[in-house]
Chains A and B, each alone.
Chain A
Amino acid sequence: DAKTTQPPSMDCAEGRAANLPCNHSTISGNEYVYWYRQIHSQGPQYIIHGLKNNETNEMASLIITEDRKSSTLILPHATLRDTAVYYCIVRASQGGKLIFGQGTELSVKP
């Protein structure tokens, strides 16, 4: 599975959009981009995933560049409860295992 690179930490003001970047320059054609988050001392929570097209659900939007070498997770109106570690993971299409990197620690501040 391709490796991902994320900034170790980010701050965001409550109510503003949080844009979390992820680089995955070695991604291959059959690999999906997945995003999970982990609130302290809890299990990870699935957020969203995509292959080529941008995706949106009730939690977030996922923007994938045309060359698929990077992506951005957008939380449109961050709240204090969005404070967590966010993991960007590249995963093979056939239900392959998830390999977690270090993620981005997002702190939403009032």
Chain B
Amino acid sequence: GAVVSQHPSRVICKSGTSVKIECRSLDFQATTMFWYRQFPKQSLMLMATSNEGSKATYEQGVEKDKFLINHASLTLSTLTVTSAHPEDSSFYICSASLGGSGNEQFFGPGTRLTVL
């Protein structure tokens, strides 16, 4: 149980285009989903926290107008990288939380974005 999927697993796009990444909790309802990015040889950096039906909370330094997050249902959150540039190339990972105290987060397999 507690499986989280991401689609696509990898995407290559041209500079200036927008890319949407989906995160789905397959066998549970996730009250909260999180988005991370990870550059090569570095740790995961939390970008934003999203709760179903409300606006996402972004971490300091993350541009909310560039990284649009939608959490329309308890099983789906999307991250849209708008007007992507080569410096946005990264590994984007989502996680989903079951809710409640002391609960663990379950992570998706990640999406490798390459912007040419």
Interface residues of A (CB under 8 A from B): 32, 34, 36, 38, 41-46, 49, 51, 87, 93-95, 97-103
- Kindly list chain A residues whose C-beta atoms are within 8 Å of the C-beta of B102: 32, 49, 51, 93, 95
Expressed in whole angstroms, the Cα–Cα distance for A87 and B42 within the complex equals 12
Question: Contact between B43 and A100 (Cβ–Cβ < 8 Å)?
Answer: yes
Partner of B46, one of A43, A45, A99, A101: A99
Expressed in whole angstroms, the Cα–Cα distance for A100 and B112 within the complex equals 19
Expressed in whole angstroms, the Cα–Cα distance for A98 and B49 within the complex equals 10
Count of B residues near A, CB < 8 Å?
A: 27
- The residue in B32, B44, B106, B109 that gathers the most chain A C-beta atoms within 10 A of its C-beta is B44
Interface residues of B (CB under 8 A from A): 4, 6, 32, 34, 36, 43-46, 49, 91, 93, 95, 97, 99-110, 112
Expressed in whole angstroms, the Cα–Cα distance for A99 and B105 within the complex equals 12
How far in angstroms is the closest Cβ of chain A from B82?
23
Known: A43-B108, A46-B105. A97 touches B49 (CB 8 A): yes
The majority secondary structure among interface residues of chain A is loop
Mind listing 27 A-B residue pairs with CB under 8 Å?
Answer: A34-B104, A36-B107, A41-B110, A43-B4, A43-B6, A43-B93, A43-B107, A43-B109, A44-B44, A44-B107, A46-B104, A46-B105, A46-B106, A46-B107, A49-B104, A87-B43, A93-B101, A93-B102, A94-B101, A95-B99, A95-B100, A95-B102, A97-B46, A97-B49, A100-B43, A100-B45, A100-B46
Known: A98-B46, A100-B43. A42 touches B101 (CB 8 A): no
- 6 smallest beta-carbon distances between A and B, as pairs: A43-B107, A100-B44, A100-B43, A46-B104, A44-B107, A93-B101
How far in angstroms is the closest Cβ of chain B from A35?
10
Question: Contact between B105 and A98 (Cβ–Cβ < 8 Å)?
Answer: yes
How far in angstroms is the closest Cβ of chain B from A37?
11
Given contacts A41-B91, A100-B45, 19 further A-B contacts (CB under 8 A): A36-B107, A41-B110, A41-B112, A43-B93, A43-B95, A43-B108, A43-B109, A44-B95, A44-B107, A46-B107, A93-B101, A93-B102, A94-B101, A95-B102, A98-B46, A98-B105, A100-B36, A100-B46, A102-B43
